[in-house]
Every structure is written in C-alpha cells, then in structure tokens.
Amino acid sequence: MNLALRLLVACLVITAPTVLYLGLLRGLEKMRDDALLLALAERDDAPRDVSSAAAEALDKPPIRADGRGPNATDDPAPTVDTFVCSACGESNMSGAKYCRECLGELNR
C-alpha cells in the first residue's frame, strides 16, 4: 500500500505542472477581449506600440501548446540555409564547422 501511495504522489507531482500550464493557457485565451483589443488598435490617442501590439494580437491565430499555428499542415516548414561538403557532398547547416557525415572541416 505504501508503494502505491508513493507512485500516486509521484504521478501527481510529475503531471501537475503540465495540467496547470495548459489550464492557464486556456483560461487566458478565454479571457482575451477582442473588442477591447480592436478599440485599442483603432484609437488615435493610444501610444503607437500599444495600438500596434493590439492589432498584431488580433491578427494572430490562437496559441497552441506546440507553438505552431491552428493547422499544423498549413504551416510551412522552417527553411534552413545549407552548405554542401566538398569532400562527401552532404548538405550541412550554414553555421556548421564540420561535416555531419564525414566529420571533415567545412571550408567557406
């Protein structure tokens, strides 16, 4: 019985921060007042940074936990500049110093 209680407490300690974070994220999304943001974006006497931040918040889709847009298939994959190794022809990231395939030094 003691072991079962310890395992239950361990599961609660591990999952509680995630559940609390997701609850906070959902709560903040529900509290967002689009009418207030729209009013701030349209006001002439509001500071420029406030009105531009309000307009930007209205244009953004809801935030997802993985940081991607509402439809993951619609989001283009991030592009990474590549550099081709002269020894083996493997493409590497542009900031790499050594080839990931042959471990040779990349000459720029």
Q: How does DSSP assign 86-108, residue by residue? A: TTT--EEETT-SB-TTT-PBPP-
- The C-alpha atoms of residue 25 and residue 41 are separated, in whole angstroms, by 23
- The C-alpha atoms of residue 34 and residue 70 are separated, in whole angstroms, by 18
- The C-alpha atoms of residue 81 and residue 24 are separated, in whole angstroms, by 37
Q: What is the pLDDT of residues 47-102, one digit of tens each?
A: 777 767 777 777 766 555 555 555 555 545 555 577 788 888 888 887 888 888 89
Q: Which helix or strand (DSSP H or E) is residue 84 part of?
A: strand 82-84
- pTM of structure: 0.34
Residue 19 binned pLDDT confidence (cut-offs 50, 70, 90):
very high
Query: How is residue 67 written in tokens?
Result: 């940081």
